[in-house]
Amino acid sequence: MTAADEYRVKAAQLNARARAETNPAVRADLEALALSYVRLARQAERNSLNNVVYETPPARADQQQQQQQIQPKKDET
């Protein structure tokens, strides 16, 4: 099951709870939450269509020099 499918299942569960709710304020909150899950499902579908791979750019010469640190010499006694 995809993430979008899971979000839709959760939205359906919340809508079912909202229909059974007698308190209007709680019902409205459950319906708003269900709508949020529907939006998440849509976003998950759009995200699944993207094939983006991030590649770290190569370090520049001046960055490599900054990364090198001189280690102090240990005193031998």
By residue range, what is the domain housing residue 11? 1-48
Please indicate, yes or no, if residue 73 is contained in any of the structural domains: no
In a domain, 32, yes or no: yes
In a domain, 18, yes or no: yes
Number of independent structural domains in the chain: 1
- Is 69 domain-assigned? no
Tell me the backbone φ, ψ of residue 32, rounded to 5 degrees: -65, -40
Is 30 part of a structural domain of the chain? yes
Q: Is 74 within the bounds of a domain? A: no
Residue 54 in any domain: the answer is: no
DSSP string, 21-70: ---HHHHHHHHHHHHHHHHHHHHHHHHHH------PPPPPHHHHHHH--P
- Predicted TM-score (pTM) of the model is 0.65
What does R_g of the chain's alpha carbons equal in angstroms? 27
pLDDT at 73: 75
> Which residue in this structure is represented by tokens 């459950």?
30
Q: Which residues contact 38 (CB under 8 A, 6 or more apart)?
A: 7, 8, 11
Query: pLDDT tens per residue, the chain (77 residues)?
Result: 999 999 999 999 999 999 999 999 999 999 999 999 999 999 999 998 888 778 888 887 766 555 566 667 777 65
